[in-house]
């Protein structure tokens, strides 16, 4: 595994390859990241993983500061996975140039997390656009846990006719059902149980809604989530996962999208 901290040295190295499989991360690696990396390795191209906690996608400084970081442990894990390249850029390395492509932000960015995290998706698309210009990957591996982010990145790539292809990968879950997330490390045992109760409640609810859509009463569901131990619920909505339109009657292709807090930790998921 070769480690790079500046884009020029990285580009000299990867230019000789026929293509790169790219797994962008903010570190705090977990089973979800490992699954993406293993899928990337199956592509038979060289695998490049990045670790960069992007300040532009945090709308609260306290959230940026408290984001779980453990680069030393991450490097150990990546060495065991035998990846080809690790890119750990500085802020200046990423933001010290003007990208060729302007960011395309689909109108869906105003929904769900976009309503509650002002500037978040602008920050995400900005950094992804820059990584694409630096690395020019053939494939980018992204998880479905951040489905809205995945959708918006795909729209940007399509709109700008970028040659990189997004590979969608299934959400990897902990044994208690909750989606793997770096933020889970901020939860204690009791809080992880709360997250598990919420996941199980919503999983059962989705099955019921498929049979009887009238059971989708947001106010009642939010109260139930608070009673289960959520500190606050940002949103709970349903969308057809192909058209990304809200459903108004039973539909097998819908997902429940939700974001809530346990104390100061914000968790998102879709099922």
Q: Return the active site residues.
A: 33
Task: Say if residues 261 and 230 touch (Cβ distance below 8 Å).
Answer: yes
Between helix 147-159 and helix 120-135 the angle, nearest 10°, is: 50
**90 is written with which tokens?**
């500085």
- Three-class HEC string of 137-204: CCEEEEEHHHHHHHHHHHHHHHHCCCCCEEEEECCCECCCCCECCHHHHHCCHHHHHHHHHHHHHHHH
Contacts with 79 (C-beta within 8 Å, 6 or more apart), sequence order: 1
**86 is written with which tokens?**
């690790």
Task: Say if residues 30 and 145 touch (Cβ distance below 8 Å).
Answer: no
**Rg of the chain (C-alpha set):** 19
Between helix 120-135 and helix 7-14 the angle, nearest 10°, is: 50
């Amino acid at each position: 595994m070769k480690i790079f901290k500046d884009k020029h040295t990285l580009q000299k190295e990867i230019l000789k390859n026929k293509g790169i499989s790219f797994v962008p991360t903010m570190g705090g690696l977990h089973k979800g990241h490992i699954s993406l990396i293993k899928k990337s390795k199956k592509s038979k191209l060289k695998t490049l993983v990045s670790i960069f906690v992007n300040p532009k996608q945090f709308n609260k400084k306290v959230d940026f500061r408290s984001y779980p970081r453990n680069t030393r442990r991450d490097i150990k894990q990546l060495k065991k996975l035998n990846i080809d390249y690790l890119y750990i850029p500085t802020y200046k390395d990423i933001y010290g140039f003007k990208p060729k492509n302007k960011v395309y932000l689909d109108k869906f960015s105003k929904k769900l997390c976009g309503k509650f995290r002002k500037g978040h998706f602008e920050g995400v698309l900005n950094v992804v656009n820059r990584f694409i210009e630096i690395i020019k990957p053939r494939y980018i591996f992204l998880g479905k846990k951040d489905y809205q982010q995945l959708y918006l990145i795909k729209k940007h790539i399509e709109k700008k006719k970028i040659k990189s292809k997004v590979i969608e990968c299934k959400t990897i879950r902990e044994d208690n059902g909750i989606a793997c997330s770096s933020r889970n490390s901020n939860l204690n045992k009791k809080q992880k149980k709360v997250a598990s109760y919420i996941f199980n409640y919503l999983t059962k609810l989705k099955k019921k809604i498929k049979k009887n859509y009238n059971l989708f009463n947001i106010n009642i569901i939010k109260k139930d989530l608070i009673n289960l131990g959520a500190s606050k619920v940002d949103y709970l909505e349903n969308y057809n996962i192909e058209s990304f339109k809200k459903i108004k009657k039973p539909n097998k292709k819908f997902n429940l999208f939700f974001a809530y807090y346990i104390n100061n930790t914000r968790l998102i998921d879709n099922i």
